[in-house]
């Protein structure tokens, strides 16, 4: 049950992220956005890591943490920021929902992950739920900018790879350490990106005290990067990569819920149907991991 509660909380946090990226990328630039959100997230996580530093005295897998930092924060967040300069937030969120499918195929092709038929069914069913939310107008995506679509899909592939890599190589590493290192590496990637593209001058003039920018930094950085990363790595290490990335199926739904709460937008019967289909897919995709954890607990108790 804790895994599903964490998944729901993560989807609520990330449901607003695409809006915050849209607000931040114009004044801060692509790599400035990466640097800001990673730094703000690290500000949340690093004090917690320092408080619990005794738990991490043992050997730290620096190389593995570096790989995860690049492919789960630095590179995909730069790609997403670029994508949102070309396509709207809704389209970006829908394309982001390709992440579980990418995760499943990458796991199968490169990490020898064998999913049960019902797990494959859950992955496919979850994406079907996304199509229901779109009223099966997937063809509308083809009218969007191909650069924006391509960079968003590449970001989904990065997420899929990093999730499987984390599950394989960082299973015994603490969630705080993984999140802190990921965000630190991501911030360094953002700095390098600004240096290579010569965008430091624009970054210096970011109106950090502007209410809209400040809300975006807190929402995207502290919550969408810091707290959300702790939840995400908890899902990966305690569940599975496929289950953790299924959060991207819920993000379009939570975005609609936020629209209802904050903007008084109407909720439709299509949303209810999509919600049922997606939840069913998420349950099937995560069924093995939840059972596996229960079995481990029973074994320890015995």
User: Over the chain (302 residues), what is each successive 10-residue block's mean pLDDT?
Assistant: 86 82 87 93 91 70 94 93 80 77 86 79 77 64 71 91 93 88 95 90 84 90 90 88 80 73 65 72 61 42 44
pTM, full prediction? 0.79
Residue listed under structure tokens 């899929």: 160
Q: What is the pLDDT of residue 302?
A: 46
* CA-angle at 191, arms to 52 and 36, nearest 5°: 60
CA distance 213 to 207: 7
Calculate the dihedral angle through the C-alpha atoms of 149, 216, 49, 10, rounding to the nearest 10 degrees.
Answer: -60
Q: What is the pLDDT of residue 301?
A: 43
- Tokens at 43, concatenated: 């500000």
Domain boundaries, the chain: 2-301
Q: Closest Cα to residue 40, out of 208, 197, 152?
A: 208
């Amino acid at each position: 049950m804790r895994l599903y509660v964490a998944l729901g909380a993560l989807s609520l946090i990330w449901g607003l992220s695409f809006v915050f990226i849209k607000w931040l990328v114009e004044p801060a630039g692509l790599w400035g956005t990466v640097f800001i959100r990673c730094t703000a997230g690290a500000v949340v996580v690093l004090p917690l890591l320092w408080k619990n530093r005794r738990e991490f005295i043992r050997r730290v897998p620096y190389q593995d943490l570096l790989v995860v930092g690049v492919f789960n924060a630095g590179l995909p967040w730069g790609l997403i920021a670029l994508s949102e300069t070309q396509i709207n937030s809704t389209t970006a969120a829908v394309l982001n929902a390709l992440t579980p499918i990418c995760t499943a195929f990458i796991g199968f092709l490169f990490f020898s992950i064998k999913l049960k038929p019902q797990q494959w069914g859950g992955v496919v069913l979850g994406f079907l739920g996304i199509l229901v939310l779109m009223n099966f107008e997937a063809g509308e995506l083809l009218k969007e900018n191909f650069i924006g679509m391509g960079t968003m899909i590449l970001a989904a592939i990065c997420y899929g790879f990093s999730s499987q890599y984390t599950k394989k190589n960082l299973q015994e590493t603490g969630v705080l350490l993984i999140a802190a290192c990921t965000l630190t590496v991501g911030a360094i990637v953002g700095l390098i990106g600004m240096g290579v593209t010569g965008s430091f001058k624009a970054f210096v003039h970011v109106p950090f005290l502007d209410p809209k920018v400040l809300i975006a930094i807190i929402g995207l950085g502290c919550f969408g990067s810091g707290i959300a990363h702790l939840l995400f790595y908890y899902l990966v290490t305690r569940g599975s990569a496929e289950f953790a990335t299924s959060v991207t199926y819920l993000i379009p739904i939570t975005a609609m819920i936020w629209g209802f709460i904050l903007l008084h937008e109407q909720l439709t019967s299509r949303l209810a149907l999509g919600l049922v289909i997606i939840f069913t897919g998420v349950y099937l995709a995560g069924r093995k991991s939840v059972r596996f954890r229960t079995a481990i607990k029973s074994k320890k108790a015995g």
